Amino acid sequence: MLRGKYQLNVEYVGYSPGLLLQHRNLLTGRTPLSHHRNESSLASTLKTLLFFTALMITVPIGLYFTTKSYIFEGALGMSNRDSYFYAAIVAVVAVHVVLALFVYVAWNEGSRQWREGKQD
């Protein structure tokens, strides 16, 4: 700290989470993760999230209208009221399938990143 008219708290100005992580890694003997890998991991996670968001919007709505018009009313000759009901069931099943796929992909991506981090 400086003495006199202006006092400067060096610990406060010099605080950086990156410095704290580097100091902690030196104490544990581990090397810090590369910044590039963290960015690629974040980009990969964001791409996966956006992909499944698009699937969650398009697949159930598309299946609802497609099955209602072409399958239930067209091929099976159901009434308008019945086709709404069965098309809604198809859309709900589609939502569950997309969610299950997202959980599966997220789980495998997380375990892959954990394995890569453990090998470092």
Give per-residue pLDDT as tens, 44-103.
888 989 999 999 999 999 999 999 999 999 998 889 899 999 999 999 999 999 999 999
Question: Which sequence spans correspond to the domains of the chain?
Answer: 35-119
In this predicted structure, what is the pLDDT of residue 115? Answer: 66
Angstrom distances, CA of residue 79 to CA of 10, 50, 64, 76, 82: 77, 37, 15, 9, 5
Average pLDDT, the chain: 76
Q: In the block, which residue shows the tokens 């859309």? A: 91
Residue 80: per-residue pLDDT: 87
- Residue 12 is predicted with a pLDDT of 46
Percent of the chain surpassing pLDDT 70: 60
Q: Which residues of 10-43 are buried (b: 16+ CB within 10 A; e: fewer)?
A: eeeeeeeeeeeeeeeeeeeeeeeeeeeeeeebee
Who's near 73: CB < 8 A, 6+ residues apart? 80, 83
